[in-house]
Chain A
Amino acid sequence: MTMREIIEDFRHWDGPDIRIMEVCGTHTAAILQGGIRSLLPKSITLLSGPGCPVCITPAAYIDKAVELAMREDCRLYSFGDMLKVKGSVRSLADAKAEGAHVRFLYSPLDLLEIAEKDPGHLHVFAAVGFETTAPVYAMLVKKAQESGLRNLKILTALRTILPALELILDSGDPVDAFLAPGHVSAIIGSDAYRSLAQRYNRPFTVAGFSPDHILLAIRQLAHAVREGRHDVCNLYPGAVHQEGNRKAQALLENVFEPGPSVWRGIGIIPESGLFLRESFTAFDAGSRGLDSDPPANPACRCTDVILGRIHPASCPMFGTVCTPQEAQGPCMVSDEGSCGIWYRFRGEI
């Protein structure tokens, strides 16, 4: 089979309506970049899932990060895309404009050197992410402990993906198949989805990030749904092992413990957060209890969008009150959020 044949096959696709959720925000971005939607039949819908750490971080967390950043004795760091998300009042970018020290880094590990060179300040990394990034923070904390650094902390908003998928599956019947996140899977392994696949009768396909790989994976999922199969298929075998990265898993287990955590727009999901264990609390910048997440606008329907119940354009605020410039909810905040995507492309995809 060639790529051309696959595209041709989709052109004449005859099957039921299928809703496939791409869990990972980087898949969402790659799907947009590759113009994948334009190659799919109308009966196949792609939904963007909760796999954008920036979108699901609750307001209380951003507020805490802003509070730290505004402190004279404190320096705050994060990834570039965290800067623009608003808390209940301000974003980190707003705080920066008011004089707070906020900087983006490519790697959290850079903080080791920064903290060592500048002992006069407390250096805090706003540690958001899923299983892919969590081991990097675990390593940062371990190394900081080994070298006795006392002026380095992390403010965690770490999430694990499986409890969120379970919630989506429990919430009704909106998603038929899952495009599993490639790099989270590199850590947790493709076998991690087996239990969900069997319990809920849904196929999962792990895929890489080039447009052709994604198209292959969508085809694989579409066929699985049509034929009533619900297996876990790994189309990213170069990077993803069945059992995942054991070394990373052990490190995560050693440094973090699971706990309930709030996902913006969704609410509390049990056991879906990772928090520093007691032996590492000296490195915690105050990550627990940041649960408050009042919707900026009570009319916001992001929960329904994230759970795949309604289409972004079905929200009464979409494109009027709620735009990327004045986002009312998490799905509009990030470029990877469903509403943000639909707004940008004005339904032309």
Chain B
Amino acid sequence: MCVAVPGEILSVDGDVATVDFFGNRMRVSLGLVDAKIGDHVLVHAGCAIEVMRREQAEELLVLLAELDEVLAPEREGRVR
């Protein structure tokens, strides 16, 4: 439906930023977010649509922990 990828803001010029995606640099509009240099933003069709929350960004470990939490009742049930 919507391809979007996170990249890091290298510089900001007005409401346009230069964003780096592992060596690929693009000019990205910041019109939809409040972001600054060093932030990671989720970019779709040339536009940052969200600032990534780094501490819980894409870390699988965090997700697995969350899933553990969500599934906690079931797990307890299983332990018996």
Asked whether the complex places CB atoms of A and B closer than 8 A, the reply is yes
Q: Say yes or no: A132 contacts B2, CB within 8 Å.
A: yes
Top 4 A-B pairs ranked by shortest CB distance?
A: A107-B46, A238-B57, A132-B2, A24-B1
A121 at interface by CB-CB < 8 Å? no
| Residues in chain A near residue B36, CB distance under 8 A | none
B10 at interface by CB-CB < 8 Å? no
Name the one of B3, B44, B56, B67 contacting A238, with C-beta atoms under 8 angstroms. Answer: B56
Residue of B nearest to A241 (CB): B50
Known: A109-B29, A184-B1. 13 other contacts (CB 8 A): A25-B1, A26-B1, A130-B2, A132-B1, A133-B2, A133-B44, A135-B47, A139-B32, A183-B4, A184-B2, A238-B52, A238-B53, A251-B31
Contact-size category for B: 35 or more
**Closest approach, in angstroms, between the C-beta of A60 and any C-beta of chain B?**
22
| Residues in chain B near residue A235, CB distance under 8 A | 63, 66-67
Interface 1/0 per residue, A236-278 and B, CB below 8 Å: 0111110001011001000000000000000000000000000
With A136-B45, A239-B50 in contact, do A248 and B60 touch (Cβ < 8 Å)? no
A-B contact pairs, 22 of them (CB 8 A): A1-B68, A3-B60, A3-B64, A23-B1, A26-B2, A26-B3, A53-B1, A79-B45, A106-B45, A129-B2, A139-B31, A139-B32, A183-B2, A186-B49, A187-B50, A212-B60, A237-B66, A238-B56, A239-B50, A247-B32, A248-B32, A251-B32
Binding site for B on A (CB under 8 A): 1-3, 23-27, 51-53, 79, 106-110, 129-130, 132-133, 135-136, 139, 181-184, 186-187, 208, 210, 212-213, 216, 219-220, 223, 227, 233, 235, 237-241, 245, 247-248, 251
| Residues in chain A near residue B33, CB distance under 8 A | 245, 247
| Residues in chain B near residue A135, CB distance under 8 A | 32, 47, 49
Q: Say yes or no: B50 contacts A245, CB within 8 Å.
A: yes
